[in-house]
Amino acid sequence: MILPESFYRRDTVTVARDLLGKFLVANGEALPIVEVEAYLGLEDKAAHASRGVTPRTQVIYGPPGRAYVYLIYGMHYCLNLIAEPDGTPGCVLIRGVQGVSGPGRCTKHFKIGARHNKLPVFHRDGLVQVHDRGVRPTTIDVTPRIGITKSAGLPLRFVAAGLRY
C-alpha cells in the first residue's frame, strides 16, 4: 500500500519515526527504510528551511508528501520527504535503507536525482513511492544527527533495530 498524503501531514518527528520499516520504492527496487533524520524548519539551524523561503527551499513549506532532492558536495543527491501541514516547514532525510547506508548511496542505488525534486511520493504512478508492507522495527535507536555542525546535538536521528521482513 502506498502511504497517502495524509501520512506526511503530521509533525516531522512522528513522520520520521513512522517511516522506519516502510519501503522506499523507485526504479524497480523496494527496500525498507532503516535510518532517517528529522529537520524541523525555522528553529532548527541545520534545516535548509531555517533560512526562509527561497526557490530551493520552497518545496519544504509544503504541501506534504513531496520529495525534496538536492545536491551536496557537488556530487551526491539527498532525498528528503516533506512533512507537516502545508505552509509549515519540515522534512525527513532518508539516510539509509536495508543494505545501503548513507543518503548519497541511497539516492545512487535508487537512481534518484534532481528530476525527482518536488514530485509527490504518494501517487500510484509516481517515480518514487513509499509503501507500507506491515514491517515494524522492534526498537528505534535515537541519536543526535550526524554529518552536520549546526543544531548537531538534537536527538533527531532514528535508526530501526531488529527489523525483519
| Cα three-residue angle 164-9-64, rounded to 5 degrees | 95
User: Nearest 5°: phi and psi at 33?
Assistant: -75, 130
pLDDT in the model for residue 165: 53
Residues sharing a CB contact under 8 Å with residue 37, sequence separation 6 or more, in sequence order: 16, 92, 93, 95, 145, 146, 156, 157, 158
pLDDT reported for residue 82: 97
CATH of the domain at 127: 3.10.300.10
- Give the C-alpha separation, 142 to 126, whole Å: 31
β 128-131/23-26 pair status: antiparallel
- Looking at residue 159, its amino acid is V
pLDDT 10s digits, 15-44 = 999 999 999 999 999 999 999 999 998 888
Tell me which residue range forms the domain holding 41: 5-161
pTM above 0.95, yes or no: no
What pLDDT score was predicted for residue 122? 95
Name which of 154, 151, 157, 147 is nearest 73 in CA terms: 147
Do 51 and 75 contact (CB within 8 A), yes or no? no
What total number of domains does the chain contain? 1
Q: What pLDDT does residue 40 have?
A: 92
Angle (nearest 5°) at CA 25 between 58 and 3? 65
- Ranges in the chain, pLDDT < 50: none
Cell representation of residue 49: 528551511
